[in-house]
Amino acid sequence: MHITEANLSQEQKELVQLAARIPESDIPLAKRFMQTLLVDPVWLSCATAPLDDEPVTREDEEAIRQAEASIARGDGIPHEEVLREFDSQA
């Protein structure tokens, strides 16, 4: 199919106009993004999935506050230690 402006929907025309405004340095990234939309159904599914509508409970909020405070105190396990642990289990 030969693509002409007459063959394009209004939304496709708008997409072409947006593409024309992409800075030259960002064109490779934009191209890969658009190819991903066409090729990778898993990525497309994730990108278009509805937001989680599960309500956040008071208990959830408290658990999040505690986790953030723990991270702020530096109570986490260093990345290198986690890697060593997984390596020793292999």
pLDDT class of 89 with cuts at 50, 70, 90: low
Nearest to 22 by CA among 11, 10, 34: 34
Split at pLDDT 50, 70, 90, the class of 1 is low
Sequence spans of domains, the chain: 5-48, 58-89
- Report if pTM > 0.75: no
| Dihedral angle sign, alpha carbons of residues 2, 35, 28, 24 | positive
Decide which of 51 and 43 is more confident: 51
Which DSSP state fits 63? Answer: H
